Structure 1
Amino acid sequence: MSESALGQHYTDVPWQRLVAATLRAAYAWSVRDVRGNAAMLEIAKMTGVVMEVHGPGSGPVTPAALVEGLRQPLAGLLGGPRQGPAELADVVLLDKEGNLTENAYDLVCEHVVPLRELAGAQPWLPTWVTMHSDQIRHRVFTAIINTTKQDEYVASRKFLVEHPAGREQELVEQRDRTGGVRLAPGGYRDIPEKQVYRGSDGRGWWWPCPDCKWPMAVSSAGKVRCRYRPHSAVYDLLPEARPKLRRRDDGPRALLPVSQAVEGAKCADAGVWRFVVVPGVSELRIAAAAERANAKVQLWPHRDRYDLLVRAGREKFAVDVKECLSFSSLIDRLRTRPPSARILLPKSFEWQLEPLTEALPGLAVTTETKFLSQVRAAVRKAR
């Protein structure tokens, strides 16, 4: 589906325009201290979008009223017949400190559509508040990975998933050692200040998420966690000369992330992280598990026609991994663009199996657990 077709399909839905506008406004408010007038202008423009969708006499009519609404459940801004999926009703975009909530980064961003008439008006906006996830992925793998060779495509995409952040010099050295990696200049950016802790001496520190290795968010209250909630480890920050973390929750044990100096460090753009790195982590995990079972795995065949082609004994399995927090968004995507392979739901999303098969009874779908059991059985059968 072409980019123009994508834009037309998604922007025709009023509640989706409201979600995109409110998320853009919330992001602008969260960076107003840094972006100044540009951020306030963006909020004003998004107020206009909200007013246009709501119609005369409905909804917030001033930027201040819109910002206040962003601190309340989204149901109030979506409203009446324009109300979107039930999963969005209780979502709040801004916390008490004026920062984006975790829901904004993981759930709401799956509903973002491009507001085409405003595209490019504010180039400082992150991709995930200006484009739909399909467009982000398309631009990443046409602009960042400029190759027609399958092995270079896989090497480049795998590198991005495995190295979403780090010291710039080390990223360059690792890229050169890997070989066949093509990353365009500007593919990595400075780590955002809201993902940095600064000590009394002014030095900045960041921590990679144990799951995706992208910089975790650091709150003013000293809580450190990944902005993608399924990556569930939560930490308390212990201020020292070189700050440390202490596990707050009772989740699975993992090594504590070690603080990294922010000077000279870079990370992938938030949109690239959310829609390329995050699902890529699950894809690589499943591929590694299949290989440990003595199956042969090909990643992203035919330049991402689907995600994994697994050869186990005499059998072949093609799967397309779908990791969507928004169930309604997943359904819409599968109806709009039928998959080229069997759908595979990662472990944290296996609960979606039954409702997905009920909503789309003709869809071939499995879970990570069932799929890997099937692969192991096929390997044993071939012995």
Structure 2
Amino acid sequence: MLSGDSPTVARLDEAITACCLAAAAFADTTLAPQQVAQIAMDCLGRLRAAHPARSAQNLDMAAFRSGLRGPLKGLLPARSEVPREVSDLHLLDGRGQLDERVHQLCREHLVPLRALEVPWPWARMRAEQQQGRLHEALRQLPPALYTRARLLCITHPAGEARTLRRSWGDLWGKVDFFEPISQWSWVQVAGWWFACPLCQWPMLVEAEEQQARVRCTAHAWRGVRYTLDLSRAQWSSPPRLRLTGRPSSKQTWPQQQVRGQPASSDHLAFQEGAWRFTTLAGLSEKELCDRALTEVPEAHCEMWPADPYPDAYDVRMSVPTPRGEHVFRVDVKDWIDAAALARALISKPLPDRFIHVVIPDHQYSQLPTLNDRLPTTHYRAFTVTRFLEHVADTARCRA
């Protein structure tokens, strides 16, 4: 890291935001060179302003651009208190493309992003707008329809139009955030697209001369990576992918063969913002409930309860006791930066009921940060496994 004094939270937020925004500009091949140059200069100015004067002198455009391909800590002010997941993150890969986690990191620093009056040359603003419109449409539904719509956002975010209409039923016109996959060239190869086995959304296709690499941008880290042999000019039947990724420990998923679907105008997919912020978030919540049904059979789960209003928290989980049910109110979170998550939670009015914050097992190292920074009278953080053990212990102790 460049030398200097310990940065304030605001300076660190601006530094991270500037790096992410510049990386997105360099990776966006649809931007004109002058647009990229202007955005990069604006971001470099923001980054330099986040550094002490003596270390900012070492930051020129060449160092900035080179640093985006290395660990993020190389561009942040010295003594920055960020978790390893953030400090070791390479915003751009060897081919100059955005790492899958950059969108998530930017979402976690959303307030600073909005505060920076810098043009957003990438799909981020569009995704934010899509998310806002979808959530507004969902909030207008009655509680029973709200829950049903949220579940459909998880289970049916893409597919053949007739199948989607049949699955969504009377909600089809009320939650209409689909686009034709035929317009998404980045998910197609030889006229086919492929659904991620975890989230069912179209996977990214990177084609070369003889082979295409196919991966889910949200779940590649869990092993959802494939290849497709392109030596055949066309397929008379849907092509099948060959799995190349290795599922990470305790992160199992159905490893059935993935077959292509026609990338035609009658195959639709959720807009990216709707998928990223609603489908993926709901998938984590559903996975928690599915594990609870298996590991704590006496537990009862209700997703997105109207308690006191829909989406006040994610899951209401209860276990029976002689004195009645014991209730756990759960917020499921999957953030890269634990400090940013803590700030986001405490920036809101404190909940009137105790909330259990549950994060993925692989983020167990973030528990001390969360539990140190969150008010213990209102929040306590667990990993999924530790939370389910806590629920099971409660059921046994009170039985």
| Fold match (TM-score > 0.5) | yes
Distance change in 2, residues 1:156/1:108 (3 Å)? same
Shift of 1:15: 3.1
Q: Which residue of 1 aligns with 2:382?
A: 366
Match of 1:207 among 159, 179, 194: 194
1:257 maps to a residue whose letter is: V
Paired residue secondary structure (1:279):
helix
Shift of 1:65: 7.0
Q: Which moved more, 1:185-194 or 1:148-157?
A: 185-194
Shift of 1:281: 0.7
Q: Which residue of 1 aligns with 2:3?
A: none
Q: Gapped runs of 5+ residues in structure 2?
A: 1-8
Q: Deviations over 1:101-151 (max 9, x none)?
A: 2332444553344334647x56x73236885xxx97555311x32515111
Paired residue secondary structure (2:101):
helix
Task: Note the 1:281-292 alignment, pairs <5 A.
Answer: 281-291=283-293
Q: Which residue of 2 aligns with 1:7?
A: none
1:369 maps to a residue whose letter is: T
Q: Which residue of 2 aligns with 1:342?
A: 356
Shift of 1:328: 2.6
Q: Which residue of 2 aligns with 1:5?
A: none
Task: Note the 1:116-265 alignment, pairs <5 A.
Answer: 116=115, 118=117, 125-127=122-124, 139-142=133-136, 144-176=137-169, 179-180=170-171, 183-188=174-179, 190=181, 192-196=184-188, 198-199=189-190, 203=191, 205-220=192-207, 222-228=212-218, 229-239=220-230, 240=232, 241=235, 242-251=238-247, 252=252, 254-264=255-265, 265=267
1:307 aligns with 2:314: yes
- The question of whether the paired residues in 1 share the 8 Å contact of 2:330 and 2:356 is answered with yes
1:94 aligns with 2:108: no
Shift of 1:220: 4.1
Alpha-carbon distance between aligned partners in 1 of 2:386 and 2:374, rounded to the nearest angstrom: 19
1:115 maps to a residue whose letter is: R
- The question of whether the paired residues in 2 share the 8 Å contact of 1:318 and 1:342 is answered with yes
Larger Rg: 2
- The question of whether the paired residues in 2 share the 8 Å contact of 1:24 and 1:130 is answered with no
Shift of 1:237: 2.2
Shift of 1:320: 1.4
Alpha-carbon distance between aligned partners in 1 of 2:362 and 2:79, rounded to the nearest angstrom: 32
2:122 maps to a residue whose letter is: L
Paired residue secondary structure (1:263):
coil
Q: Gapped runs of 5+ residues in structure 1?
A: 1-11
Alpha-carbon distance between aligned partners in 1 of 2:116 and 2:340, rounded to the nearest angstrom: 23
Q: Deviations over 1:341-379 (max 9, x none)?
A: 222234444454455334547242334334445556777
| Sequence identity percentage | 25
Q: Deviations over 1:60-110 (max 9, x none)?
A: 666x87544433333343344778655433322222322212332444553
Alpha-carbon distance between aligned partners in 2 of 1:59 and 1:171, rounded to the nearest angstrom: 54
Distance change in 2, residues 1:237/1:60 (3 Å)? farther
2:167 maps to a residue whose letter is: Q
Could you list the runs of 4 or more consecutive aligned residues of structure 1 that deviate by over 6 angstroms after TM superposition?
A: 377-383
Alpha-carbon distance between aligned partners in 2 of 1:43 and 1:27, rounded to the nearest angstrom: 12
Shift of 1:283: 0.8
1:224 maps to a residue whose letter is: V
Distance change in 2, residues 1:192/1:116 (3 Å)? farther
The count of corresponding residues between Structure 1 and Structure 2 is 356
Paired residue secondary structure (1:41):
helix
Distance change in 2, residues 1:82/1:277 (3 Å)? same
Shift of 1:382: 9.6
Alpha-carbon distance between aligned partners in 2 of 1:182 and 1:294, rounded to the nearest angstrom: 38
Distance change in 2, residues 1:61/1:373 (3 Å)? closer
Provide TM-score, normalisation by structure 2. Answer: 0.73
Distance change in 2, residues 1:382/1:117 (3 Å)? closer
